[in-house]
A and B are shown apart, each in its own frame.
Chain A
Amino acid sequence: MTLTVAYWSGFNPAGVNIMPAWINAAAKQLQKTYPNVNVVGDEITTSSESEYYSKVDLTERSARTVPDVVFEDSFLIGSDASAGFLRPLPQLTTWPGWNAYYPAMKSSASYNGKVYGAMNSTDVQLIYYSRKLFKQAGLPATWQPHSWGDVLAAARAINRHDNGAIPVWIYTGQAVGEASAFRGFEVFLNGTSDRLYDYTTHKWEISGPGFNATWNLLSQMQPLEEPESMWSNPNADATVALTLMPHQQVGIVFDGSWVATAYVPGGLAPWPGFSSAYGEAALPTQAGGAPGYTNQSGGWALSVPSLAPHPSLSQAFIEAASSASLLASFDPASGNLPPRADVLTQPAWQAAVKVNPVSKFASAQLPYTTFRPNLPTYVQVSNVIQQLTEQVSTRSMTPSQAAASYASQVTQIVGSGNVERMRK
């Protein structure tokens, strides 16, 4: 018997064998109990993450194409569960490993009170700043901004000093998909008094001072940002991490905690001098308001499609793959933070932290983190944000036009009974 595990090619960059190594290690564990089961990784190659989601969802529609286990972005769990594509896995909560998960990670993999998978990775957002460009611009060698104003001031100082360098990198536009909604908008909005979704009233917030401030910030950042030719490329993440940063051509970078993973020995682009070239800072709130910092986390889970023919075997594979010892190798290799606390004491994780010091700083940000609304309509709301960041960056819309467009488009998507306006 053969189990297929579908995953995205983007998680398995050329020259680095992360996914097959992890799947094979899990298969070996599984075969201790089920010796006749063969596990095959099914790498789904697409240029963008959103195309991977579409492809996986399409395979889940038919019993003839459905994989046994699917590598699922946690923000899609609600959407795919409500579509009926994923199987609830109530037995997973009785698995001994389940208790080791951070509570937020348990709810990340749940929808409507049911568990739909086990998380295998999470992350946080960081600011990377170039020590060289900061020194040239007369900025401090060790830097921690305490407000958006501090970030703008530093970016402007870099711009005044060096016209060749890109002062600030912020993901924007539709080409990079979810990255512009997540890292180019939501992490800033979370630093204001507004949120995408109000969990107390169960309504989407569609407008408010925080929304206006965030669109304004993006508009102010626009002249300091990377040029359109860079952000409109689906491989923008490679441009910043593999070209701009190694050449110290970008001053301030808003990106994920996984970026530095490429630079460790044996990584995609080993760079021993990374730590002396770039420092890390936490994301400040709008004006330094409590708790001072903000963040947002994503992460991936392993789930079982509804039409998968051997669900209990699929679940056994998930349990094997999500053990503390396997995640202790998989998470640092894939540039992620562990979703369960017991990974931190594993020798493999501790060895990895020594090689990649960013992961220590990153895990200290976990207390400030938040999650995207795990709701079916989030995917469409995210698309609205992606389009609007592009409109603001190309100056096709003013911040107030973007704010108005957001309110009307989101109302249309979720229905006027499910929205609220914040007036504070």
Chain B
Amino acid sequence: MNIINFTPVPAFLGGALIGLAVVLFFVFNGRLIGISGIVSNFLTSKNNRFDNFLFIVGLIIAPTLYKFFTSQEINILISNSFFLLSVAGLLVGVGTRIGGGCTSGHGISGMGRFSLRSIIATITFMIVGILTVLVKSLV
């Protein structure tokens, strides 16, 4: 194992901002942030639809606002084929609904409340994610 590209300070600060969003949403609106839940509920349920819509709008405009105020470029690299991305998208969509949460819902909101269910979910998707990357690197 080699450690590369490690950026602990921006990671911690960005994480703290994510935590702040989770706290505000909880204290003011009484809800937990889980992106898969918010987005799938926006698509399939009338409950809190406008709130969910506004949250999603905020999430989508955020990188643009960041770029505008810091004039820093945001570089992302997605180096997979459309086929692989489609398979991954389907797995993430179906899996997060069956499992009741994703990195944010289980990994942050759930683990922050010390929910055993969320801790087990997070360990599960981390292990399977690590194994998937390992298998992909071998084939």
Co-assembled chains A and B: no
Spell out B's residues near A (CB within 8 Å): none
> Which residues on A are within 8 Å of B, measured CB to CB?
none
